[in-house]
Amino acid sequence: MAARRPYVRPMQPGWWRRNPYFVRYMAREATAPFVALYALILLAGLVCLAEGPEAWRAYIEALQSRGWLALHVLLVGIFTYHTFSWFAIMPKTMPPVIVDGRRLEAGAITGAGLAAATLCMWILWIVAGGAA
């Protein structure tokens, strides 16, 4: 008896554009390289900090150029979307949270995550000296 070949579902180009859920998923995943890029920028800053005050000053001066500032503005927008989408899917990916015998609503979990992220950004802003 001949073995049956497994069914292979054909993938068509742009399959993900037909479903808004997959469009949001792909947009969220597209932010990952930007997160990695910023991690490298921060790592470079850490290396400069370890090398001494002159290297640190040069790093800070470089980040204050127009190109770096424009990149940071772009990255803030990308990270805002990344953060919002991350906390929006959190209720779907974590185990149920039971409070007073009832399951916590998805909006409360998303709101708590966004509030925590906002609080962390506010604290970092104050520690960094505000707009100075």
How do the pLDDT tens digits run along the chain, 132 residues long? 678 889 988 888 888 899 998 999 899 999 999 999 999 999 999 999 999 999 999 999 999 999 999 999 999 999 999 999 999 999 999 999 888 999 999 999 999 999 999 999 899 889 887 765
Strands 98-99 and 102-103: antiparallel
The pLDDT, as a whole number, for residue 132 is 56
- Topology of domain 20-127 in CATH is 3 helical TM bundles of succinate and fumarate reductases (1.20.1300)
Strands (E), 25-121: 98-99, 102-103
Tokens found for residue 9:
């579902």
CA distance 114 to 107: 10
Which is it for the CA torsion 61, 131, 35, 11, positive or negative?
Answer: negative
The pLDDT, as a whole number, for residue 122 is 92
Q: Is the pTM of this model over 0.75?
A: no
CA distance 97 to 109: 9
Tokens found for residue 22:
């997959």
DSSP string covering 69-113? HHHHHHHHHHHHHHHHHHHHHHHHHSPPPEETTEEPPHHHHHHHH
The pLDDT, as a whole number, for residue 131 is 60
The pLDDT, as a whole number, for residue 118 is 94
Tokens found for residue 105:
């609503």
Q: Which residue has the tokens 């949270």?
A: 97
